[in-house]
Amino acid sequence: MIKLNINGRQREVDVEPEMPLLWVLRDVLDMKGTKFGCGIAQCGACTVHINGEPVRSCSFPVSAAEGQRVTTIEGISRNSNHPVQVAWVEHQVPQCGYCQSGQIMAAVALLRKKPNPTDADIDSAMTNICRCGTYARIRKAIHAAARTNRGAAKAAKA
């Protein structure tokens, strides 16, 4: 049995230690928000956080996730009210939407590290592929979410 902490919940799975975390999430735990796009760490559709760091779960053995905090798209907010999700809707980012779980997970991780990212920061952190070509809107939405965070921080101080 492999013990996992996913979105704050304890889960136990009986699988091979080398099975990628992606397939444990999708097929064993029926958590379908994390997507399969390439299987070789190229596209980022499968991005989840391990202790807050973005990781490509298609190429991350489940055994390595043991004892770590795993966060998936389902776990970043209760009501789609994470500033990144709000900005994504506000700017009408997704087209087909298939890459967007991964894009959002990458963006959330970026903003945690760099609350005021420059375009260059966005370029180097956002390496996920979007075949529909939503990049311009992703960039805008990340800047918007950063503004929201700044506003919230100011309000908290005041």
Partner 1 sequence: MKNASFKQSRRDFLANSVAATGGLAIGMHIPSAVAQKTGVLEGAEVNIWVVVNPDESVVIRYARSEMGQGSMTSAPQLVAEELDVDWRKVRIEYADTNRHVRLKRAWGDMATVGSRTIRTSQDYLRKGGAAARMMLVSAAAQQWGVPPGECTAAGGVITHAASRRRTTYGKVAAAAAKLDPPKDIALKDPKDWKIAGKSLRRIDIPASVNGAQRYGVDTQLPGMVYAAITKSPVFGGKVKSFDDSRVKTRRGIIKVMTVEGDAVAVVADNWWRAKEALKDVQVDWDTGANGGVSSTSLLEFFKAGLAAPEAALLPNRKGDAEKAIAGASKVLEAEYFTPFLAHAPMEPLGATVHIQQGGRVDVWASTQSGEAMLAGVANVLGVPTDNVYFHKTQAGGGFGRRSFPDFARQAALIARSMPVGTPVKLLWSREEDMQQDNYRPLAMYRLKAGIDASGHVVAWTTRIASGSLAAQLLNLPLKNGVDGPATEGFAEFPYEVPNQRHEYIQRRTHVPIGFWRTVGWSQSPFAREGFIDELARAAGRDPYELRREMLKDEKRPLGVLDAAAKAAGWGRPLPKGVFRGIATTEPYGSFTAAVVELSVDGKGGVKLHRVVQAIDCGYAVNPDNIVAQIEGSSVWALTAAMWGEITVKDGRIEQGNFDTYRLLRMREMPKVEVVIAPTGGFWGGVGEPGQAPFIPAMTNAILAATGKPVRSLPLKNQGFTLV
Judged by the rule CB under 8 A, the positions of this chain that interact with partner 1 are 15-16, 19-20, 23, 26-28, 30-40, 42-43, 45, 72-74, 77, 80, 85, 88-89, 92-101, 104, 122-124, 126-139
On the 0-12 / 13-18 / 19+ scale of CB atoms within 10 A, 1 is: exposed
Among 6, 25, 45, 126, binds ligand FES (CB under 6 A): 45
What are the strands of the beta sheet with 69-71, ordered from one edge? 9-13, 2-6, 69-71, 47-50, 53-56
- 43 is a contact residue toward ligand FES (CB under 6 A): yes
- 64 is a contact residue toward ligand FES (CB under 6 A): no
Among 54, 83, 94, 117, binds ligand FES (CB under 6 A): 94
2: left (phi over 0), alpha (psi -120 to 50) or beta: beta
Which residues share a beta bridge with 70?
A: 6, 50
Total residues belonging to the chain: 158
**Cβ-based nearer residue to ligand FES, 39 or 149:** 39
* Contact set with ligand FES (CB under 6 A): 36-39, 41-46, 56, 58, 94-100, 130-132, 134
